[in-house]
Chain A
Amino acid sequence: MTEQGIGARVLRKEDKRFITGKGRYTDDIRNERQAYAAFVRSPHAHARVKGIDSAEAEKMDGVIAVLNGKQLTGDGIGNLICGWGVSSKDGSPMNMGAWSALATDKVRYVGDAVVLVVAETQAAARAAAEAVIVDYEELPAVVHAVDALKKGAPQVHDNAPGNLIFDWGLGDEAAADKALKGAAHVTEMEIVNNRLSPNPMEPRSAIATYDEAEDHYTLHTTSQNPHVARLVLSAFYQVAPEHKLRVIAPDVGGGFGSKIYIYPEEIACLWASMKTRRSVKWTSSRSEAFMTDAHGRDHVTTARIGFDANNRIVGFKIDTVANLGAYMSLFSSAVPTYLYATLLSGQYDIANIYCNVRTVYTNTVPVDAYRGAGRPEACFLVERIMETAAREMGVDPAELRRANFVKSFPHQTPVIMAYDAGDFAGNLDQALEAADYKGFPARRAEAAKRGKLRGIGLASYIEACGIAPSAAVGSLGAGVGLWESAEVRVNPVGTIEVLTGSHSHGQGHETTFAQVVADRFDLPIENIQIVHGDTDKVQFGMGTYGSRSGPVGLSAIVKALDKVEAKVRKIAAHVLEVSEDDLVIENGQVKVAGTDRAMAWHEVGLAAYTAHNLPAGMEPGLKEGAFYDPTNFTFPAGTYVCEVEVDPETGTTEIVQFVASDDFGTIINPMIVEGQVHGGIAQGVGQAMLENVVYDADGQLLSASYMDYAMPRADDLPSFAIHHHSTKSPSNPLGLKGCGEAGAIGSPPAIINAITDAIGNNDLDMPATPPRVWAALNAASAKIAAE
């Protein structure tokens, strides 16, 4: 049944309910006696909370409770934590500042939650929230990462002197310095990676329901990892014991990382539900989403890369300041360290790398993983500096890359990662061929006749997915293991339920996971149901992020399928009185090879559950579980080619060609993979050309709505040419690598390389908006005129 198995373009099973408006999202759920929460949020970036007057709000119609941070901490609710400990070079632990779900003494960013109002209606809750009077003593604020480290900068947390969270290093600094000293050519750059807002289509939402009779809590929430949410809520925040808390993440409309974390609102709603004995719902407005969803990126980096006389890289040294915002979000420490510096070898064989990362507090929204999480920052840096070096040295950028590619595998980089498989030159060649790289000079000349500046840019990206081997991440400070679990239940009638710890919030697991099962047992895809997102149904899971659902989540399913198949063979061999080795599973049957003797698949299921005729000692039933802990990261890689035309009159950039050659290993559903790449590139175009979170000097968020925060739209994007050139990952049973983030990782440097090529000025920050491109173009012209 290859038309539904691995490699087939099966239409998404879940789309029927999504495109007919029948998806069931958290906000669609209405519980009995449901009340509504609204938060009083700080209008100041930094202020002391001197007093809270709730008297007026409490008297208002429909108000059930007005709750503050002192009550919350008084009830023993713990502070929010960062779950990955990263220490400074000197061995000292990171300086994690206290983060209460409701601020007690101080607010540290615009949007920081101070008071929670519970009321009979959303309107009543909002009205009462506006009636709460908070007495603030404003304090000076700091917004930019580099400013936060300056002497005399406003101090965000008392226990992080100079706003420094940690000063971390990876690699051999002395060796990198020595290599750079002896280099024939050194390229140096300062690179800013702009701050982004995640913007999932569905805003965050939570409904907390306390059942007094059972002393039990249920939390419906927009989570990418409901089990982790349950674990953290119970173990660290003490809102409810783990066995008394059920977390359900129903249909979730996009996450991009922002729904990994446990936010103050879920904690406050759970606590408020217990206090009020009501089901308490909160759904973020879009304005709240801009103000409170964890942002992404926000790095300032200086980097130096050295080459020998043969254009081979000899050393690479990087100094990064990463803005983590006002508080340390759940995985914030790992993003600019172990998900960033470990990828700074790029696709290249580099003997000496050293990276220093200082993370800082500022009076801005917390920063955490956003589609790509650390790898886009690494890729942008590596691929911008490679392109720049090629220009400085007068070498074809494609050939400079090729000369430095890692060519044999496994390859141990000096920054932890061991690349397991790839064919980097193969992807480069495929991309160059598809883009007609050789024909570019003619296209540039033709564009010039039309008054347009045409440029071409490459990016050869590598990233690490399938996080991650638990022991490895444990040794690096992770507070959790990053395996995945699965359970395969074959029903007596032969239909199959697969329970997975992965969580789909747009990825299409209900289709791709079912394809893998259909492929394995040659069954119709309709007979397979994927169950996820409920801690009462699925035993445990680490959730979906870092493109891990394929390499890790599916690997757990495959392991469970192995166990199911083993039992199926034993039962069929017993019933058919043949050796297991003589059996083949195909076309919905377990057959004796080369004969017409067979058991239908459902007959095996029935046999397992009637248990009338099972092999001696075999337990009834046909249900197997598995935990899969990966042996390595996986390493999706590829080359992207972007070609642009710039209108010199306005600085407007049009992407006229975008070619991708990706190596994702085994592909289960090419249609879904292409969709992931399209979406990833669209977000990469967003970062490179449109999106930018802007705070003013006082810490007020200026890009707080779609009037001012530019999201990519269809007419900003070209038609993408997506190609695959794959090598299988040897690190998981299906050879998968992961495809969810590559587009967002590989595209920004390709785009900026193309625009800077077009305008002849390499000094251009993201987002490369028309005014910025126009100014850079004028600066380049002025420089030429002066010379």
Chain B
Amino acid sequence: MYDLKYHRATSVDDAVAKRAAASDGQFLAGGQTLLPTMKHRLAAPSDLIDLRGIGGLAGIEVSGRNVTIGAMTTHAAVAGSAELAKVCPALAALAGGIGDPAVRHQGTIGGSIANNDPAADYPAGLLALAATISTNKRKIAADDFFTGLFSTALEEGEIIVSVSFEAPAQCGYAKFPNPASRYAMTGVFVAKGGGGAVRVAVTGAGGDGVFRHDGLEKALAAEWSASAADGVAISSDGLMSDIHCDAAYRANLIKAMAKRAVSAA
């Protein structure tokens, strides 16, 4: 790790101001990606602005079927929320499957989606749930938020405050972990809204990050079953190929995980 200046922000505005004053500042949420990257000397921010001292950014509110999760809520808190489990158990289960206990007690939902790792779990969940990402400046629909590999719609000085969504009638998540990193080699989140609309989001597989799968959405809207997913042709075009597996295998995993996600929903 390189030397840097560490700041503990007291409010969202304070954090924004501190970052603006830094030559190359970075916000620190749970630090589960940023800190290892810095330790590898692959990131070298001049200033680190720690968001963990800011009050009011953590917590889960469930009102009816409306769910709001503070940006600094840890994966462990999401996984362990009894209220969330009542209306949207798939998202709690997703959080419970991220990393290991140490990661889950430090990592946050805001940090995860701001980083938008193409193999992270939350982007699939929030995209399928049609979540709204609230920042200190505006509200952003999940469909507009995730813009590519490690890139989002967030602008300079914009901080995620919370994410919110209406819990769907049914939803499920299944992931196939990378044997080394245990990130998603492919993860599929399926959600069926009250009106029957279906959204299917895929993480870990897309060459351009998380994406919605049109074919699966149509098939599952017509018939909400694993066998309906089984009948969908999954193209490997645009999918990632790396030392762990090729695009054809990821295409196979999209179908397999979609089936499991529907079965779990």
Binding site for B on A (CB under 8 A): 123, 126-127, 287, 649-651, 690, 694, 702-703, 705-711, 716, 769-771, 774-775
Asked whether, in the complex, the Cβ of B179 is within 8 Å of the Cβ of A690, the reply is yes
- Taking a contact as CB atoms closer than 8 A, the residue among B2, B176, B243, B253 that contacts A708 in the complex is B243
For residue B244, which residues in chain A have a CB less than 8 angstroms away from its CB? 708, 769, 771
Alpha-carbon separation in the docked complex, A312 to B181 (Å): 46
Known contacts A123-B3, A649-B256, A769-B244, A706 near B180 by CB under 8 Å: yes
Alpha-carbon separation in the docked complex, A341 to B32 (Å): 47
Alpha-carbon separation in the docked complex, A286 to B176 (Å): 26
CB-CB nearest in chain B for A692? B243
Q: Is the C-beta of B40 less than 8 angstroms from some C-beta in chain A?
A: yes
Asked whether, in the complex, the Cβ of A771 is within 8 Å of the Cβ of B180, the reply is no
Q: What is the interface of chain B mostly: helix, strand, loop, or mixed?
A: loop
Asked whether, in the complex, the Cβ of B180 is within 8 Å of the Cβ of A775, the reply is no
Alpha-carbon separation in the docked complex, A706 to B178 (Å): 11
Asked whether, in the complex, the Cβ of B249 is within 8 Å of the Cβ of A771, the reply is yes
Q: Is the C-beta of B197 less than 8 angstroms from some C-beta in chain A?
A: no
- Which B169-185 residues have a C-beta within 8 angstroms of A? 176, 178-181, 183
For residue A711, which residues in chain B have a CB less than 8 angstroms away from its CB? 180
Known contacts A650-B252, A710-B179, A703 near B246 by CB under 8 Å: no
Total of A-B residue pairs, C-beta within 8 Å:
47
Asked whether, in the complex, the Cβ of A694 is within 8 Å of the Cβ of B253, the reply is no
Against A, the Cβ 8 Å flags (1 = close, 0 = not) of B1-43 are 0110000000000000000000000000000000000001100
- Taking a contact as CB atoms closer than 8 A, the residue among B3, B179, B243, B245 that contacts A694 in the complex is B243
Known contacts A706-B180, A707-B181, A775 near B256 by CB under 8 Å: no
For residue B3, which residues in chain A have a CB less than 8 angstroms away from its CB? 123
How many B residues, CB 8 Å from partner? 19
A651-B249, A710-B178 are known; give 11 further A-B pairs, CB within 8 A. Answer: A123-B3, A649-B256, A650-B253, A706-B180, A707-B180, A711-B180, A769-B179, A770-B249, A771-B245, A771-B249, A774-B249
For residue B243, which residues in chain A have a CB less than 8 angstroms away from its CB? 694, 702-703, 708
Question: 4 closest pairs, A vs B, by CB?
Answer: A710-B180, A771-B245, A710-B179, A771-B249
Report the minimal beta-carbon distance from B123 to chain A, rounded to whole angstroms: 18
For residue A774, which residues in chain B have a CB less than 8 angstroms away from its CB? 249, 252
Alpha-carbon separation in the docked complex, A703 to B253 (Å): 22
Asked whether, in the complex, the Cβ of A650 is within 8 Å of the Cβ of B179, the reply is no
Alpha-carbon separation in the docked complex, A126 to B252 (Å): 44
Alpha-carbon separation in the docked complex, A123 to B38 (Å): 13
Alpha-carbon separation in the docked complex, A439 to B181 (Å): 37
For residue B256, which residues in chain A have a CB less than 8 angstroms away from its CB? 649-650
CB-CB nearest in chain B for A775? B249
Report the minimal beta-carbon distance from B117 to chain A, rounded to whole angstroms: 11
Binding site for A on B (CB under 8 A): 2-3, 40-41, 176, 178-181, 183, 243-246, 249, 252-253, 256, 259
For residue A287, which residues in chain B have a CB less than 8 angstroms away from its CB? 40
Asked whether, in the complex, the Cβ of B245 is within 8 Å of the Cβ of A769, the reply is yes
Residue of B176, B179, B246 with highest tally of chain A CB at under 10 A: B179
For residue A690, which residues in chain B have a CB less than 8 angstroms away from its CB? 179-180
Report the minimal beta-carbon distance from B98 to chain A, rounded to whole angstroms: 15
CB-CB nearest in chain B for A702? B243
Asked whether, in the complex, the Cβ of B249 is within 8 Å of the Cβ of A706, the reply is no
**26 A-B pairs in the complex with CB atoms less than 8 angstroms apart:** A127-B2, A287-B40, A649-B252, A649-B256, A649-B259, A650-B176, A650-B252, A651-B249, A690-B179, A694-B243, A702-B243, A705-B40, A706-B181, A707-B181, A708-B181, A708-B243, A709-B180, A710-B180, A711-B180, A716-B179, A769-B244, A770-B176, A770-B179, A770-B249, A771-B244, A771-B245
Alpha-carbon separation in the docked complex, A769 to B40 (Å): 28
Asked whether, in the complex, the Cβ of A771 is within 8 Å of the Cβ of B246, the reply is yes
Alpha-carbon separation in the docked complex, A647 to B154 (Å): 41
Asked whether, in the complex, the Cβ of A708 is within 8 Å of the Cβ of B180, the reply is yes
Alpha-carbon separation in the docked complex, A710 to B244 (Å): 10
For residue A709, which residues in chain B have a CB less than 8 angstroms away from its CB? 180
Alpha-carbon separation in the docked complex, A707 to B181 (Å): 4
Alpha-carbon separation in the docked complex, A774 to B249 (Å): 8
Report the minimal beta-carbon distance from B40 to chain A, rounded to whole angstroms: 7
Report the minimal beta-carbon distance from B241 to chain A, rounded to whole angstroms: 10
Alpha-carbon separation in the docked complex, A127 to B3 (Å): 10
Report the minimal beta-carbon distance from B84 to chain A, rounded to whole angstroms: 26
CB-CB nearest in chain B for A651? B249
For residue B179, which residues in chain A have a CB less than 8 angstroms away from its CB? 690, 710, 716, 769-770
Report the minimal beta-carbon distance from B204 to chain A, rounded to whole angstroms: 13
Report the minimal beta-carbon distance from B115 to chain A, rounded to whole angstroms: 14
Alpha-carbon separation in the docked complex, A694 to B242 (Å): 11
Report the minimal beta-carbon distance from A198 to chain B, rounded to whole angstroms: 16
For residue A716, which residues in chain B have a CB less than 8 angstroms away from its CB? 179
For residue B2, which residues in chain A have a CB less than 8 angstroms away from its CB? 127
CB-CB nearest in chain A for B100? A713
For residue A123, which residues in chain B have a CB less than 8 angstroms away from its CB? 3
For residue B40, which residues in chain A have a CB less than 8 angstroms away from its CB? 287, 705
For residue A649, which residues in chain B have a CB less than 8 angstroms away from its CB? 252, 256, 259
For residue A769, which residues in chain B have a CB less than 8 angstroms away from its CB? 179, 244-245
Report the minimal beta-carbon distance from A517 to chain B, rounded to whole angstroms: 42
CB-CB nearest in chain A for B256? A649
Report the minimal beta-carbon distance from A197 to chain B, rounded to whole angstroms: 12
Report the minimal beta-carbon distance from B129 to chain A, rounded to whole angstroms: 25
Report the minimal beta-carbon distance from B18 to chain A, rounded to whole angstroms: 24
Report the minimal beta-carbon distance from B54 to chain A, rounded to whole angstroms: 30
Alpha-carbon separation in the docked complex, A565 to B2 (Å): 61
For residue A705, which residues in chain B have a CB less than 8 angstroms away from its CB? 40
For residue B180, which residues in chain A have a CB less than 8 angstroms away from its CB? 690, 706-711
Alpha-carbon separation in the docked complex, A638 to B158 (Å): 64
For residue B183, which residues in chain A have a CB less than 8 angstroms away from its CB? 707
Alpha-carbon separation in the docked complex, A126 to B40 (Å): 12
Report the minimal beta-carbon distance from A51 to chain B, rounded to whole angstroms: 24
CB-CB nearest in chain B for A130? B41
For residue B41, which residues in chain A have a CB less than 8 angstroms away from its CB? 126
For residue A694, which residues in chain B have a CB less than 8 angstroms away from its CB? 243
CB-CB nearest in chain A for B255? A649
Report the minimal beta-carbon distance from B233 to chain A, rounded to whole angstroms: 16
For residue A703, which residues in chain B have a CB less than 8 angstroms away from its CB? 243
Alpha-carbon separation in the docked complex, A708 to B249 (Å): 17
Report the minimal beta-carbon distance from B172 to chain A, rounded to whole angstroms: 16
CB-CB nearest in chain B for A709? B180
Alpha-carbon separation in the docked complex, A690 to B40 (Å): 24
For residue B252, which residues in chain A have a CB less than 8 angstroms away from its CB? 649-650, 774
Alpha-carbon separation in the docked complex, A690 to B180 (Å): 8
Report the minimal beta-carbon distance from B34 to chain A, rounded to whole angstroms: 15
Alpha-carbon separation in the docked complex, A650 to B250 (Å): 10
Alpha-carbon separation in the docked complex, A651 to B256 (Å): 11
For residue A127, which residues in chain B have a CB less than 8 angstroms away from its CB? 2
CB-CB nearest in chain A for B119? A707
CB-CB nearest in chain B for A716? B179
